[in-house]
Structure 1
């Protein structure tokens, strides 16, 4: 997994989230396009599931504060402007940090099949979500 920071940060991170909603918007794309793009809004504290993107996944945070962690890896804090790449076969989870909101663009390689790309796994424990 790798994190790229492309924006300068200033001020305090996003405000506390009071709702537990999640929005996914799949952006239209040409039939010949290989990746799938999803724009996602998340509030902190919502249980996450591990996932494996068989051809890799790129996350780009557009707003707020988020977390991402590979199975057995270190917890990475993401902020607006950060981009994280998870290689093929790497089980991971991502979501908003507790008490925060996060919006991100998720780009998943599909090999030309829009239904291909993500396998869902088990739920993340509260201890793992909190970095323990």
Structure 2
């Protein structure tokens, strides 16, 4: 581990992974709470939690097999850009104060996109360090 941390690029990459995973975890926690606050409905809270969890269960293994054949660094950058775009759409929707019914739809779509991109990013990071 000491040899890994001596290289500046490795330290930068490690810090980016830590902040990326921390931010993603915070959003996975915050989005269901936003839906609960907006709707006051446990049903919507359950739906958003399912949207965040089911992609991991369904896509985890197939994405791992696909990523083994692709350029891992490009996938990491791609997944980070899609997550940034998704969060930007959510921030724009909040800033524009769109109607609540449409806001819930936006949160669902953002949650699904972020969940799938989290899978791509996580599997790519594992593949990068174990290859």
Q: Quick check: which one's helix share is greater? A: 2
Tell me which structure has the larger Cα radius of gyration: 2
Please give the TM-score of this superposition, normalised by the length of structure 2.
0.23
Please give the TM-score of this superposition, normalised by the length of structure 1.
0.23
